[in-house]
Amino acid sequence: MRFGCAGLAALMTTAVLTLSGSPAAQDPQRPVFRAGTTAVTVNVSVKKGNTPVLGLTPADFRLFDNNVLQKVDDFSTDEVPIDSSLFLDTSGSTSGARDQMMGDLRAIVAMLRPVDRFRLLTIGHSVYQPIAWTPAGAHFEPELPPALSGISLIYDTLVMALLKRPEVDRRDLVLAFTDGVDVGSLVSAERLCEISARSEALLHVVVVDSIHAGKPQDAMAFSLPGQNPDHGLELLERAARTTGGEMHRGTFSYQDLVKTFAKVFDDFRLSYLLRYTPTGVAAGGWHQIKVETPKIRATIHARSGYFGTDEDR
Amino acid sequence: MPRVTRGLVVIALAVGAMPRAAPNTIDALLDQYASGQFSEAVRAASATGDVGAFVKEFERAAPLWIEARPSDRQRRRLAVATFSLEVANARLVAWKTLRDLVEWSCRLLRQSDVPEPGEHAWQLASIAVAERVRDCHWAFDNCAAIVIGGVLVPSKETANHLRHGKGRFKDDARFRLAEAVLIHGWVEGEGGVAKFGVSLPAYKRYTNDKFAEKAVEEFGPLTVVPGIAGEAELHVAQLFLVVGGHEGALEHTRLALAKSGDPIVQYVAYVMSGRVLETMGRAPEAVAPYRAALGVWPGGQSATIKLASLETIAGHLDEAYALVERSLAARALDDPWRLFGYGDYVRYPGWIAELHRQIQP
């Protein structure tokens, strides 16, 4: 089933994670989320303006699955460790800013908490992972691929970032910094949207003006007509919104990346985790999720839903 | 030169601090490269700020470095030529400047009356880089024209680089294949129309109507040449795919698989089969060729992304996660599908590895 991302209340689930209720071995204060197939965990950011609304209780929320009101089984405001996939578009368009890029990467990593992890994804002739999953605070010295014109695998990189296996007791954040001009990806922007609807991760995209965008005529012969539509940015935004994230417009300054990451990371950290077991709805297909805070006028950000399978029940 | 001092000199060059590189800096880079520290030397040189100054200084200093050890002249000559090619490849955004250095290196190798060991791989690798950047005017003498305002204008900037390789290695099948690839690689772009001597609008009409037919005509004779038959079939399949000839593309991928056991040919053929089937709306059938591709090239990124996407849409998320994990862990960076669109560039890593073996002391 296809879905419209834009008009839906932004909801975010960590869909197949379930809250066991048993304490983490290493931290008795932190809840443990078990991978399962029946319960759905919804990550909800509640803000007034740019300020997170803190101190809410389960009674402040109403959660609907395909328009059926659900009972929230568990609720947490605890700070769950975050895995951040940082995607820096190192295609030809950003070739003049690499030193600054690395400096800002260090600034971003410095914001992470000891329990967090990060990795770096970039683009060469393929999708590169110059830094695999690394604990915050660890030393890193990435070797970036050479700057190339004529190829910019933005959609492919995001697919690889989004298809990250959810881990027990961790949440996933993908932050992309790019000019948004895809050249040569194997997946289309439409397919990226479909995959973002099935991913557990929250996607934010910072789009900057291109200095030297890849030219389609430089692209590989395999870039078929219709593969890279002009409305790529619109679809990138749709993909981000589907996960509960956003698209941010920036100038070609990597400080934008640092500032945006700080904002996104804080929002994510301070969001609420609601867990429910879907009842009164069919297991398979697209489940539109809607969260309300009836007593509080606020903006709610989360993903728009999740795909269930018949095996879930 | 002591290692520490040499390192400092290399770093100074790397940050572009010197408007004119000191002679011993080029020496240091070449010493480092010839000692087997290939990537380190290339990385330092390719970080140079002023590419033009680097080229000028390199062309002055490198011959002196070669002649400083006459007994090692042959190996040093190949080291200089390969180093310059690798620097050019590492800085494709500065190709227009660095291609002169590659041509200079070609002349250096051709000083020997008969090709020395390594030149065959070097000539092919240098043509492959030209295919990557689609530099018609530098590489291919039949493209001696450019398009200005939709009209063909004769070009004066032809180096005829491909002819050098063909002249040194007569009847070599790989140069014949490169020539065919060069023609079709460029005619797909905005500027590459000279082969057919038509204006751009006319060419576009031509490509729409007759492109696949012309491709078979160009590549057809090569599909029976031992050593390149499978690869030639794959190029025909690619061209059918580009113009929407899906059945033709599938047929030629089958022929490619039948004619070659080469992993690159096999991998690209399987990925292409899957891609064609998806384009035809037969996505479930694409799963098998994508899996076969990963059997040939474990962790191959393009097959991984396509297969993981299909598995995700089908609701098989665990399988999709596992595929992506395996690909990232394999660090299979030189994905043949990604590079095959640039013609012989898919072979570039292999040829450079061969050159490294020749240069290694």
- CA B260 centroid distance within chain: 20
* pLDDT band (50, 70, 90) for residue A310: low
Residues A107-148: pLDDT tens digits? 999 999 999 999 999 988 889 999 999 999 888 888 777 667
B-chain CB neighbours of A183 within 8 Å are none
* Pairwise CA distance, residues A272 & A46, whole Å: 8
Which of B326, B338, B346 best probes binding to A when mutated, by most A CB atoms within 10 angstroms?
Answer: B338
**Closest partner CB to A148 (pick from B92, B317, B334):** B92
Taking any CB pair shorter than 8 Å as contact, residues of chain A touching chain B are 16, 92, 95, 124-129, 132, 145-149, 151, 156, 159-160, 163-165, 184, 186-187, 191, 194-195, 198, 217-224, 307, 309
Q: Which pLDDT value is given to residue B17? A: 38
Burial class (CB in 10 A: 0-12, 13-18, 19+), B14: middle
Distance, in angstroms, between A54 CA and closest chain B CA? 34
Highest-scoring range by mean pLDDT, A60-64, A140-144, B332-336: A60-64
Give B141's pLDDT tier (boundaries 50, 70, 90). Answer: low
- Range from A116-120, A223-227, B174-178 carrying the lowest mean pLDDT: A223-227
CB-based contact B211:B242 (threshold 8 Å): yes
Lowest average pLDDT, out of A187-191, B18-22, B38-42, goes to B18-22
Res A183: pLDDT: 81
Q: Tell me which residue of B251, B201, B261 sits closest to B231, measured CA to CA.
A: B261
Contact A221 B315 (CB under 8 A): no
For residue B21, give every residue at least 6 positions away whose Cβ sits within 8 Å of its Cβ, in sequence order, or none: B13, B48, B53, B54, B57, B58, B61
What is the per-residue pLDDT across B302-330, written as a single tens digit (0 to 9) for each? 999 999 999 999 989 999 999 999 999 88
What is the rounded average pLDDT of the residues A235-261? 80
Residue A257 has pLDDT above 90, yes or no: no
User: Cβ of B309 under 8 Å from any chain A Cβ?
Assistant: yes
pLDDT at A149: 65
pLDDT at B251: 96
Question: Which of B176, B179, B272, B266 has the alpha carbon at shortest distance from B224?
Answer: B176
Q: State the Cα–Cα distance between residues A169 and A35, nearest whole angstrom.
A: 9
Q: What is the pLDDT of residue B302?
A: 95
Mean pLDDT of all residues belonging to chain B: 82
Interface of B with A in 44-63 (CB under 8 A): 46
Which value does ipTM take for this structure? 0.80
For B:7-46, CB contacts with A below 8 A are 46
Cβ contacts of residue A81 below 8 Å, gap of 6+?
Answer: A113, A115, A116, A117, A169, A170, A171
For A142, the token pair is 């990435």
Q: Name A183's bridge partners.
A: A152
* Strand locations in chain A (E): 13-14, 17-23, 31-35, 40-48, 51-52, 62-65, 68-70, 72-76, 82-88, 117-123, 127-135, 171-178, 202-208, 247-250, 272-276, 285-292, 299-301, 305-308
Q: How many CB pairs under 8 A join A and B?
A: 106
